[in-house]
Amino acid sequence: MFGAEEAGPRGRYRIDTMRVLTIVNLALWTVLFMAWIPFTIEVGLADPISTEVRWILIVTAVLMGALAALRIRRGRPVLG
């Protein structure tokens, strides 16, 4: 799908796919964060939408951090 070939039980395909999905996830998180900042400045932190988006950003950041820590601990590349 992303130009990788199958190689072994795990396969290069799986590694390349994980790398692409991780980069896309980080990019989408960054876009949401950058859009949330001006919105929050305009409407305030108490706005229900701002609260929900902040909660999503925090949970996603914690999960991405946990994934990175796990991958570092296992000696695998962080981006795939």
Strands (E), the chain: none
pTM: 0.69
Summarised one tens digit per residue, pLDDT across range 4-49 is: 444 555 556 666 777 788 888 899 999 999 999 999 999 988 899 9
**pLDDT at 62 exceeding the cut of 60:** yes
Rounded Cα distance between 48 and 24, Å, is: 27
CB atoms within 10 A of CB 41: 10
Q: pLDDT value at position 18? A: 76
pLDDT reading at 1 higher than 50: no
- DSSP code, position 48: H
What average pLDDT score do residues 38-64 get? Answer: 92
From residue 22, alpha-carbon distances to 17, 28, 40, 64 in Å are 9, 10, 26, 9
Q: According to DSSP H, which parts of 4-73 are helical?
A: 11-43, 48-73
